Structure 1
Amino acid sequence: MPESVNTETIDIVGRFVAEQEIPERMRADVRLLGELLGRVLRESGSPGLYEDVEALRAATIQAYTDESDQAFAAAAAIADGLSVSRSDEVARAFTAYFHLVNVAEEHQRVRVLRERDGSAASNPAATVGSALAQLTAELGEATALERLQSMRFHPVFTAHPTEARRRAVSASIRRIAELLDDHDDAATGARRRRVERGMLEEIDTLWRTAPLRSEKPSPVDEVRSVMAVFDETLYGSIPAVYRRIDEALQGDGEGDGAPLVRPFVRLGTWVGGDRDGNPFVTASVTKQAAAIASEHILLGLERTAVRVGRGLTLDADTTPPSEAVLALWQRLRSADEDAAAEIAKRSPNEPHRRIVLLLSRRIAATRTRDADLAYRDPDELLADLRVVQASLVAGGAKRQAYGHLQQLIWQVETFGFHLAELEVRQHSAVHRKVLAELDAGGPLSEQAEEVLQVFRTVAQIQQRYGRRAAGRYIVSFTQSAEDLENVHRLARAAAGPNGEPPVLDVIPLFETFTDLQAAPRILAEIVEHPAFASRLEATGRRLEVMLGYSDSSKDVGPVAATLALYEAQRQIAEWARGNGIELTLFHGRGGALGRGGGPANSAILAQPPHSVDGRFKLTEQGEVIFARYGGRDIAMRHIDQVAAAVLLASAPSIERRNEDAATRFADVARTMDETSRERFFALVKAPGFAPWFATVTPMEEIGLLALGSRPARRGLSVESLEDLRAIPWVFSWTQARINLTGWFGLGSALEAVGDQALLQEAYRDWPLFRTMIDNVAMGLAKADERIARHYLALGDRDDLAQMVLDEMHRTRDQVLRITGAGQLLANKPVLQRAVKMRSPYVDALSLLQLRALRALRATPEEEPADPELQRLLLLSVSGVAAGLQNTG
């Protein structure tokens, strides 16, 4: 330890770490990774870097621990006293630390999951098996099993720019996580030392890797990023979830009979299809996205089929083939004679092995577009696989039939030949503009030609990969039935008089408060339109309706938006049931609380009766994709938990509880809605609010960060919030450590209700209210009033700053009274521990960000901004995002 890092510094840091209630093995991981990072900083950083990092770390811990103004001022003085170049290095060091702590925390979660080994917890919503047990008790075995087998969980990956990490950084973090796993398994000191040397190398690589992208990723880059999650996690983990659930249901009989579980996960993607406000997503990009996804899944299926085929070394004497299998062999052999002869030579009396190996060649031919051998669609492949499976069962080889072969069947059923259903999204105003051009009859604009080409591209994708590959078309800002009918008009226009338009399921997206209220009326009108009604009948009266969490929250504030979304779901569900429609509500949620973030399973269980009915679809975006699906064990646990909640949401007891609570606390909801909206409007509709917001947060600078291909706002002005996207609106307040979008207006709303006993009763008995309060507690725990004050001081509106701080105090006080706790998140100790462990380190980055922001704000408008200060600001943005995690 260098002499300049004094004993007092060591004591402060050591004492803080020791006081955190961290499991011992996780504490050891954090200590090891932190020590290795310290070594890297001493070896690879500039002289004195390690000492400066430790000094700032100790100062922010001291300020966080004793909460005195003097300690905070001392920490701020250290941050302000660093040169810009040294601040750059310090920000990178703290960001690297967050990445390593996140790795250690995730590793602990995986460790706990493996120790539980999938056993059911006391919470019925913890696993599908325990949820099914409760449903069976309420509805009977047959009905419960029927609901399990008809269940759907449909996550849709989007490319919204909330993932601040580069792919190279993510890859380095993943390798460190794998080494931490190896470290657990290393039994000897020598092996552990080798693993630690590998960790040191990877942490050094992480340190030396540029943390910021040099340019924004293209939409195709974003497609490939999502493909990495599929390749590394989802392809194997989704069928593993099915297997785990089936094991729980069948016990010792699992594997000796047909599985009870039917594939219930369907993946969707907007990456390469969402063009609302993103001019870089063209028809060509959409076509590339579909081709890339198909290439990945067909490669995966081909390799799996080869592996399964090679393992089916069952002799015909012990496992005689069925007549259907022999007929299938003849068909395959005649189509692929040379390969069949070679395979038969290597497997002379292994008919099932021979067939599956030839099937792998047909999958490969599908990928390479060899018309002589290619499958027409995944159903054709499934039919062949089931012939093999039935033959194995008839031959007595049930374990082989329902083992690895079943996993391959599950993968084909889940992913098809397209991997994820590519969805197109466009703004309703764009459709109206293009139709006006068509009606005028003159030359079409470039935008109009592009819009029409999208429909032709969707038709081509359907012809190439099947209808499941593409066909959902989301209309942003749906405000009338005509907005939905316009999609069918454009599809017909694009096809021309002799062409066939694509088969489309047109999905309304209701986003604003007004549109949510109008949703039932608009839906009642659209089902009467001929094209829409025709498609509705063709699907067995299935209908999707999307609800926007982001813009509704920005429109009327988080409290009124939450209540409006609940009421819209209730009314839409009632309308659908009354009209014999099988409804799927599509939740446009983000990771941050201002965008519907928070635990998905508790949100599902708080939904209105019949609004889930065994079907749950939501957007998964930015850092949430990697947090939930980036590792196999975490992905399996997440899917199992969400599926359990989806299944349990239709239990009569849950539906009755939610309905009774909504009725019982209707007056509370009404008061909260009116008061929170009034308070929110007093802030955001105040004269000059928008430019003030852009001044007191790094909103403008976030637009410079190469997070994603989408522009940060639809226009160039910050005079109005109308053109500002919901994502930077949320992201900016998070960076300023205020988190306003998740809680503003709640304190006033609760005060207006006034009855403390009634509110505590609502917290106990009303799931929607409890979820809201718990999520706000998390948002406030990650906020920091002392730092927030410094951001708010960047503007010249003391009245607005005081309004924000007053509401923060009011909301915090009310939440603590309702929960009956002395601290925020006292009822969620694991989350509380994670927030406390990170907060002082996030504070250090916030102080560096403030230092850069103050200097940039002081730069005269006619002078160019200092690029070093801009870089420091962007580095701190990336670091704060890594530290707070659910930021976008």
Structure 2
Amino acid sequence: MAAIASQQADRSPVERHSAVSEMPDELRADVRMLGELLGRVIAEDGGPDLLADVERLRKAVIAARRREISVDEVASMVAEWPIDRCVQIARAFTCYFHLVNLAEEHFRIRILRSRDTGEATLPESLAQAVSALKHDLRPDELARLIAELEFRPVLTAHPTEARRRAVVTAIQRISVQLAEYNAPDRGAYEREEAHRRLLEEIDLLWRTAQLRHTKLDPLDEVRTAMSAFDETLFRTVPRIYRSLDTALAEGSGTREPQAKAFIRYGSWIGGDRDGNPNVTARVTREAVLIQAEHVLTALENAATRIGRTLTASSLYGTPSKELRDALAGAVDDHPELAAELGKRSPREPHRQWLLFVAARIAATRRRDLDLAYRSPDDLLRDLRLCQASLVATGAARQAYGEIQHLIWQVETFGFHLAELEVRQHSQVHAQALEEIRAGTPSERTEEVLATIRMIAWIQERFGVRACSRYVVSFTRSADDIAAVYELAEHALGPRTPVLDVVPLFESGEDLANSADVLSGMLRLPAVQKRLAANGRRLEVMLGYSDSAKELGPAAATLKLYDAQAELAAWALSNDVRLTLFHGRGGALGRGGGPANRAVLAQAPGSVAGRFKVTEQGEVIFARYGHPAIALRHIEQVTNAVLLASTPSVEARTGEAASRFRLLAERVASASEQAYRSLTEASGFPEWFGLVSPLEEIGSLRLGSRPARRGLGAPRSLDDLRAIPWVFAWAQTRVNLPGWYGLGSGLLAVAGEAGAGQEPGPGLEELRQAYREWPLFASLLDNAEMSLAKTDRQIAARYLALGGRQDFADQVLAEYDLTRKLVLAVTGHSRLLESRRVLSLAVQLRDPYVDALSHLQLRALSALRAEDTLSDEERERLETLLLLSVNGVAAGLQNTG
């Protein structure tokens, strides 16, 4: 695809002011080189004619973007190719997007590193937050906020990662070689060898099947998530703590740290059984064992590495009596091991001790009970023993350097890595109790009881921190919480495990009733017992995906805000330390968007130094695929959590929310009415299935979880899960879940100034809300991003497939209205005007996403129109469709 790369790189007069001409030189060079290499690979494998056809389509979609030809002409060209040729072209554009995404990631990493000069405080960093806090809070208030700080990212296996694991690893290998090629200290031979290896790896990416041939099982998903831990999380966490400690006071690394370990990872992977019959008690057990294997291996390697370098001699500092006594105890209990360590490290007591600690961690992993640690607390005790001894000898830098990093890692990950959370639907519990009381438990009910027994086993093996949270989907009353505690008694009698049952409120009605449900929970003896034991801590989960699918993006956002405000007030009046668990998806239609901005937009009092959120699907690898990006993401979120918890920010947010309350209600009401008028109309679910690749998305085998509740085509939105709902709309280039109804909501406030529906007298009030209320600004900015990824011309072609022009006209009219009013309120002359980098990325991708959309439309139209397709023809068309779905997902960098 050398021609594609050339188009990206060259600055012709026509393109001088285009997005292409604005591409930074370093990024342009990488895109050009990777595109040229891919072009060579395609020509070598498929011949020059294949590359020429790819180039024809590339030029055609660019010409259509410039209005030089019509999209109908592009469609006619695509229709002339045999399906097999279309498949090859779809592969080419998909591989190209993988490489462009990689080039952009490397450019982002270079930018992050270039900004970190140490000469100025980086915006949205921990240093910037602490500097602001020192001006806003008294020292004791700052110390209390730091002590209470919590960030809990929860990894989920929701099926939104469209790439095969083999494709992901191929891209990672290309990434390594690209870094080698661009390294400034490489000689000519090393650079040439990296270039050769790049070509080799790109060739392998081209030859790797993009589509999964077998469905993932839950343990595959667990193992996939472990790559983020192995490559990034374990090493990044201590860097975050060190950054905070440095910001808090001088001398970090030579004194006892002021920063505590505030990050706690959770996971639903292998624990979330709501609607996923593949997640069983056995799977949950295996999931936690896989996690333990990875974290214990990482801790063992870290302790061994640090121990081998800790060569401080007793000739220059006598170890503490406590350490000498501990070493003597090791000789008594494990004479052979202690003798070997003493022989290898004479007069190096701290080295001996840390290598002994490493041996004990290894024994813990092997289940050698004679030598193993019983708990992470025992390991921490031994590490702090070594640390204190080093301080006593005057070696403070050794005590508070790498050993402190290891302490932070143990405090963060324990022996279980991430708390495995269980989730199940409230109706499953209700039915299980009915069956138990009737004496006729079904296989599913037995599985519910087995799950609770498995939680008890995990707690016995790894401690309560490893698994105690039990999330109840569609919680409607306190009875749904009581059911879990009753089931635990049926499962284990008086030996029930420690359970923190978490209500999940998802629908608009449930969000409105959430505080009443919590009041009912406080009357449950089991909940009272837990509150007494845990310092009156209570967790509540808010579901962004299903609420947005039910109400539309604008009404859901505002209803969620109201629920947060009410729950925060309820917690204050009931002396409860409330943690809100935000069930956000990756896509804008499921609560996605910049996480730090979302935190700053929360209701006053709802953060209070604590933030818990789901990290789903492709978001896991986007945020945690590289240490530099992970570090920046965690810093930005933590910065926002700290700032959102201060009285001044809470006061400003609360005052703005109060002032624009009536405006918000009018926007929410009108937007919800517009949204429901479409989605609840007779025939809409069937129409949606025709205009989108909804049915075919299930064939991508994205995850172990079924795409819908129940069997057969969806009869209503309730039958459809939020992820395929968002994913399918993204494929149509409509992106409806991210903006639909907002235009009608804004119009209800702005008013009309004539037949053209121009904004009326309420526009200035909307502009004022956008400037002063973070929630409203976030809502419009996210909608603007979603609108920018929408293409009206191509969207219209998809919408026409359903045979309901009334629905198509309704969607496009709302798009036009929303786009016009969002620009009017934000004051922008074009979408994403104030977000140059994102605007550039979208504009660069648009033509090539168009190419894949035309290929997809070719397949989708044939599948929808022909009832007489042979099995072979249908299979080839479905292959093309799924390849294009995969490519569009890569191009938009977004699935569900």
TM-score over 0.5 (shorter chain): yes
- Per-residue deviation, 1:887: 2.4
Query: Once the two structures are superposed, what CA deviation does each residue of 1:705-726 show, in whole Å capped at 9, x if it has no partner?
Result: 1110100001123222211101
Cα pair 2:307 2:355 within 8 Å, conserved? yes
Cα pair 2:20 2:844 within 8 Å, conserved? no
Cα pair 1:120 1:127 within 8 Å, conserved? no
Residue identity opposite 1:35 in structure 2 = E
Match of 1:869 in 2: 877
Q: Give the counterpart of 2:262 among 256, 264, 268.
A: 264
Q: Find out whether 1:453 has 2:461 as its counterpart.
A: no
Q: 1:786 to 1:173 in 2, by over 3 A?
A: same
Residue identity opposite 1:168 in structure 2 = A
Q: 1:4 to 1:229 in 2, by over 3 A?
A: closer
Q: Give the counterpart of 2:733 among 733, 737, 743.
A: 737
Q: Find out whether 1:816 has 2:823 as its counterpart.
A: yes
Q: Find out whether 1:42 has 2:43 as its counterpart.
A: yes
Match of 1:232 in 2: 231
Q: 1:820 to 1:119 in 2, by over 3 A?
A: farther
Q: Find out whether 1:630 has 2:625 as its counterpart.
A: yes
Q: 1:851 to 1:351 in 2, by over 3 A?
A: same
Q: 1:3 to 1:358 in 2, by over 3 A?
A: closer
Match of 1:138 in 2: 136
- Per-residue deviation, 1:8: 14
| CA–CA separation in structure 2 for the residues paired with 1:258 and 1:180 | 40
- Per-residue deviation, 1:191: 2.6
- Per-residue deviation, 1:46: 4.5
| CA–CA separation in structure 1 for the residues paired with 2:115 and 2:29 | 21
Residue identity opposite 1:871 in structure 2 = T
Residue identity opposite 1:492 in structure 2 = E
Match of 2:809 in 1: 802
Q: Give the counterpart of 1:308 among 306, 310, 325.
A: 306
Q: Find out whether 1:113 has 2:141 as its counterpart.
A: no
Query: Once the two structures are superposed, what CA deviation does each residue of 1:501-530 show, in whole Å capped at 9, x if it has no partner?
Result: 111100000000000000000001111100
| CA–CA separation in structure 1 for the residues paired with 2:520 and 2:122 | 42
Cα pair 2:849 2:888 within 8 Å, conserved? yes
Query: Once the two structures are superposed, what CA deviation does each residue of 1:444-476 show, in whole Å capped at 9, x if it has no partner?
Result: 211011111000011001101111110100000
- Per-residue deviation, 1:660: 0.6
Q: TM-score, normalised by structure 1?
A: 0.97
Q: TM-score, normalised by structure 2?
A: 0.96
Residue identity opposite 1:40 in structure 2 = V
Q: 1:834 to 1:294 in 2, by over 3 A?
A: same
Q: Give the counterpart of 2:487 among 483, 487, 490.
A: 490
Match of 1:756 in 2: 763
Q: 1:303 to 1:8 in 2, by over 3 A?
A: closer
| CA–CA separation in structure 1 for the residues paired with 2:801 and 2:619 | 31
- Per-residue deviation, 1:246: 2.3
| CA–CA separation in structure 2 for the residues paired with 1:651 and 1:860 | 63
Cα pair 1:377 1:466 within 8 Å, conserved? yes
Q: Report the secondary structure of 1:547's partner residue.
A: strand
Q: Report the secondary structure of 2:718's partner residue.
A: coil
Match of 1:880 in 2: 888
Query: Once the two structures are superposed, what CA deviation does each residue of 1:152-190 show, in whole Å capped at 9, x if it has no partner?
Result: 110000001110001111111111112221122154333
| CA–CA separation in structure 1 for the residues paired with 2:51 and 2:236 | 40
- Per-residue deviation, 1:578: 0.9
Q: Report the secondary structure of 1:314's partner residue.
A: coil
Cα pair 1:9 1:54 within 8 Å, conserved? no
| CA–CA separation in structure 2 for the residues paired with 1:118 and 1:763 | 34
Q: What percent of counterpart residues are identical?
A: 54
| CA–CA separation in structure 2 for the residues paired with 1:9 and 1:636 | 31
| CA–CA separation in structure 1 for the residues paired with 2:832 and 2:9 | 29
Residue identity opposite 2:789 in structure 1 = K
Match of 1:277 in 2: 275
Aligned residue pair count = 881
Q: Find out whether 1:682 has 2:677 as its counterpart.
A: yes
Cα pair 1:59 1:71 within 8 Å, conserved? no
- Per-residue deviation, 1:142: 2.9
Cα pair 1:13 1:61 within 8 Å, conserved? no
- Per-residue deviation, 1:121: 6.6
Cα pair 1:136 1:143 within 8 Å, conserved? no
Cα pair 1:121 1:127 within 8 Å, conserved? no
Match of 1:616 in 2: 611
| CA–CA separation in structure 2 for the residues paired with 1:861 and 1:681 | 36
- Per-residue deviation, 1:119: 4.6
Match of 1:718 in 2: 714
Query: Once the two structures are superposed, what CA deviation does each residue of 1:6-29 show, in whole Å capped at 9, x if it has no partner?
Result: 999999899588834111111111
Residue identity opposite 2:261 in structure 1 = P
Q: 1:49 to 1:10 in 2, by over 3 A?
A: farther
Q: Report the secondary structure of 1:866's partner residue.
A: helix
Residue identity opposite 1:742 in structure 2 = G
| CA–CA separation in structure 1 for the residues paired with 2:120 and 2:714 | 50
Matched ranges for 1:319-718 at <5 A: 319-442=317-440, 444-496=441-493, 500-716=495-711, 717-718=713-714
Q: Report the secondary structure of 1:255's partner residue.
A: coil
| CA–CA separation in structure 1 for the residues paired with 2:113 and 2:248 | 19
- Per-residue deviation, 1:78: 2.4
Q: 1:511 to 1:3 in 2, by over 3 A?
A: closer
Cα pair 1:9 1:55 within 8 Å, conserved? no
Cα pair 1:458 1:502 within 8 Å, conserved? yes
- Per-residue deviation, 1:5: 13
Cα pair 2:130 2:247 within 8 Å, conserved? no
Cα pair 1:272 1:285 within 8 Å, conserved? yes
Residue identity opposite 2:294 in structure 1 = H
| CA–CA separation in structure 2 for the residues paired with 1:827 and 1:345 | 65
Cα pair 1:157 1:620 within 8 Å, conserved? yes
Q: 1:759 to 1:531 in 2, by over 3 A?
A: same
Query: Once the two structures are superposed, what CA deviation does each residue of 1:618-677 show, in whole Å capped at 9, x if it has no partner?
Result: 000111000000111000110011011011101222101110111110111110111011
| CA–CA separation in structure 2 for the residues paired with 1:414 and 1:11 | 50
Q: 1:861 to 1:266 in 2, by over 3 A?
A: farther
Query: Once the two structures are superposed, what CA deviation does each residue of 1:379-436 show, in whole Å capped at 9, x if it has no partner?
Result: 0110110011011011100000011111110110000000000000000000000000
| CA–CA separation in structure 2 for the residues paired with 1:76 and 1:21 | 30
- Per-residue deviation, 1:141: 2.7
Structure 1 portions without partners, runs of 5+: none
- Per-residue deviation, 1:322: 0.4
Q: Report the secondary structure of 1:703's partner residue.
A: helix
Residue identity opposite 1:85 in structure 2 = D
Q: RMSD of the TM alignment (CA)?
A: 2.0
Q: 1:351 to 1:35 in 2, by over 3 A?
A: same
Cα pair 1:183 1:195 within 8 Å, conserved? yes
- Per-residue deviation, 1:262: 0.8
Residue identity opposite 2:55 in structure 1 = E
Cα pair 1:20 1:833 within 8 Å, conserved? no
Q: Report the secondary structure of 1:455's partner residue.
A: helix
| CA–CA separation in structure 1 for the residues paired with 2:704 and 2:866 | 28
Match of 1:91 in 2: 90
| CA–CA separation in structure 1 for the residues paired with 2:15 and 2:34 | 18
| CA–CA separation in structure 1 for the residues paired with 2:4 and 2:487 | 70
- Per-residue deviation, 1:333: 2.2
Structure 2 portions without partners, runs of 5+: 751-761
Match of 2:244 in 1: 245
| CA–CA separation in structure 2 for the residues paired with 1:484 and 1:119 | 50
| CA–CA separation in structure 2 for the residues paired with 1:109 and 1:783 | 24
